[in-house]
Structure 1
Amino acid sequence: MAKLYQTLFLIISVSYFFSPELIAASPAGASQKAVNFIQSSCKTTTYPAVCFRSLSAYANAIQTSPERLAETALAVTLSRVQSTKLFVSRLTRFKTLKKREVKAIKDCVEEINDTIERLTKSVQEMKLCGSAKNQEQFAFHMSNAQTWTSAALTDENTCSDGFSGRFMDGRIKNSIRARIVNMGQETSNALSLINAYGCACASKSYRTKSTFGIKIELIFSRIFLDGETFGGSLSDDFIPKSKSSQLFRSVETDLLSPASTSLDSPSISI
């Protein structure tokens, strides 16, 4: 019953935030100036193709604002990490797994939980950046956001290291590593854009009215309605058990598909 209430609450929340005035448009419907801004900004990141693919869908919300670009990148990253956690957690249901494989998966989930915690703290610091009363406060919260995002990237690398041996089933290992790689790409790009926003503020005293609280809910809502993931709106133990669920891609189907581990071509895209 509690989970039913959680689901109903999520649907109500999504309905509230999902409005034509607020939701980001696809690149085709966005202004060319906004798209060009995102593309040029993404060129400064480590994985520019991943960056543009993930963020161009929110061009109308981002426009040419370094703040909104950094905030959106962080929100998309956090949602991607939540999605990865759900996927990896479900793998422990396979009865053919060896104890060592199960342990590696559970250890990875713990690392992802740490990543979620650190990215959440980064989100909180970015909110405080938007409400900072002076440059000193802004610099303090910006430094914290950079530190937490960098720490999240370290957790992701640790998780990936756990699947470097030969003991793990090849299909499972490739599927998990592809997602961890993509998760790391998104986090790395978010960190680059957060750094760029901090530099823009320091050099030009660039500030805009923060709408981060609305924006992160919008992005989670957008991804939820697209059927990719619930984002961070539900409790950690909420995992659909029905194989017919349209909200999650089938784990079995995914494992049968070749998983890409290309550093600039993730297997999951928003």
Structure 2
Amino acid sequence: MAGMVLLVCCSWAVLLCLSVQAYENLALHQPTWQSSTYWSDSGAELAVDGRHKNMDVYGGQCAASNWGKTAEWRVDLGGVRSIHHIFIQYATGTRVWDENNIYAEYFLGFSVYISNTTNKEDGVLCFRDTNYTRATIPNPVNITCPYHGRYVIYYNNRTHPPYPEGYSNDAYTDLCEVEVYGCPSLGYYGENCSLECPQNCQDGYCDIVEGTCFGCAHRYIGPTCTKDCPEGLYGRYCSQNCSMTCGDPGRCDIMTGHCKVGCQVGWTGVMCEKGYHLTNYNTHKTSTYLKRYT
């Protein structure tokens, strides 16, 4: 009986492990960069080498920068990827992580960005620490970050004194490991990245957990972009109104906005946007001409 219980418990442990690790570490052994390097064996690449048993900046397993007012590190995922969460293991100096650990004051105030360029300002802010103290900042930390991007950028600064209580005077990278979990191919979602995003999602992107679209291709609306535009609307996000001068007022092609059955009298153009009026006059005989408004 005891053996059966043990087997069941082990099975649950394996399932839990598989569930947690279902997303792939997209950052492992990918190209990296940091704003400066503290010493020869503290390069940016050490934060994605899969090793973080020795969490001292002198241990050869952590990326570390020189002291300065800003510190920045980034990893290139090799292309735009769908990200679920980011794991950060900060240096500890191989000491207990608590409010007395000097590295806690270096870690405070950090930010994480996701960008399609090497410039963090071109991307989205995934996380910014504004509340942690030396006593409460976790290490390691897991950050939920359901965005799409090519570069994951860690940033910290000490540029606007006075700093909050417990902050260091300078900023450092001091990253022993950064793991970026998500799907290696765009257009998929779910823990195993095996489910295809709805076909009408804008650019093929969808939420990595729920599969809902961030935006829709032309003519579609709804969480999964399966509904056509309501009558009288057209275009992306169904945000444009069909012309009321169409032959059938307020009805048009939901992709282009072109009127389907011609125009009302006095109007012309594919969207019936050009007005004109009729003028009759006599020369040797009666004729009609169109004078268009411009």
TM-score band, normalised by the shorter chain?
Answer: under 0.3
Which structure features the higher share of helix residues? 1
TM-score relative to the length of structure 1: 0.22
Which structure has more relative contact order (CA 8 Å, sep 6+)? It is 1
TM-score relative to the length of structure 2: 0.21
Which structure features the higher share of strand residues? 2
**Quick check: which has more Rg, 1 or 2?**
2
